[in-house]
A and B are shown apart, each in its own frame.
Chain A
Amino acid sequence: MALIIGANYLRASKAFLAKLNNWRKINTLIARSTKQDSEHVQDKLPARSNGMSRLSSLFIVCATLSAGTGSAHAGTCANQITQLRQVAQLDHQPTPETVRQVQTYGQLMFAAALAEAEALNVEGNEAECLLAASRAKQMRELG
């Protein structure tokens, strides 16, 4: 059982790292394209266009930052717990409070992961909470 729980933690961690790597790739691409744009403009266009390029670069940075802020807010553990509970209610999936209605191990594991996520959220452990919420999501989708 410890091996299974450990494997689930590992899977959730890998998924998180994969998402982090994707963001890094996107940021690198933006940085490269901005740099190439800037060099290209400096070589061939007048100073006014150079100013426009800086303005567009600034716009890209602002857009990226605002998008990042939005997704970070949407991805907080408390929000994920709320979403999981709403979906569970729609699917008539047992939650920790209604665990007496559990019929399968998929449902039991979902309820356990959700309860763990909520406990970690109360303790303020956001990273572990997100992992537990991710496990709950996996259990709900697979179970």
Chain B
Amino acid sequence: MFFVPRSRDVRVPHAAAVDTQSCEADSRLCATLLVGKIVSDSAAAAADTGTSDYDSIR
């Protein structure tokens, strides 16, 4: 089961942790990291199932 933001307006926690150096150097790596950030946030949200900012997808 994955958790995705209910709205695109949901604020990104720890945005500063995103690796900007990779985004300047390698577009493919950057895209992978950014999508990975969304997925890891979703996994973190899964740990807190009570949050109302995320929808769950089975």
User: Which residues of A approach B to under 8 Å, CB–CB?
Assistant: 1-5, 96-109, 111-113, 115-116, 118-119, 122-123, 139, 142-143
Contact = CB atoms under 8 A, between A and B. Distances in A.
A111 B34 contact: yes
A96 B39 contact: no
B35 A112 contact: yes
Given A111-B34, A112-B38, A119-B31, A106 B9 contact: yes
Interface residues of B, number: 27
B57 A3 contact: yes
Contacts of A113: 31
6 contacts: A3-B2, A99-B20, A104-B8, A111-B34, A115-B31, A116-B27
B57 A102 contact: no
Contact of B38 (A101, A108, A115, A118): A108
B20 to A, nearest CB: 5
Interface string B34-45: 110111001000
Contacts of A99: 15, 18, 20, 23, 30, 34
B10 interface: yes
Contacts of A119: 26-28, 30-31
A39 to B, nearest CB: 54
Contact of A103 (B12, B27, B34): B12
Contact of B57 (A4, A108, A112): A4
Given A97-B24, A108-B34, 14 more contacts: A1-B2, A97-B20, A99-B34, A102-B15, A102-B18, A104-B8, A104-B9, A105-B7, A108-B18, A112-B31, A112-B34, A119-B28, A122-B27, A143-B8
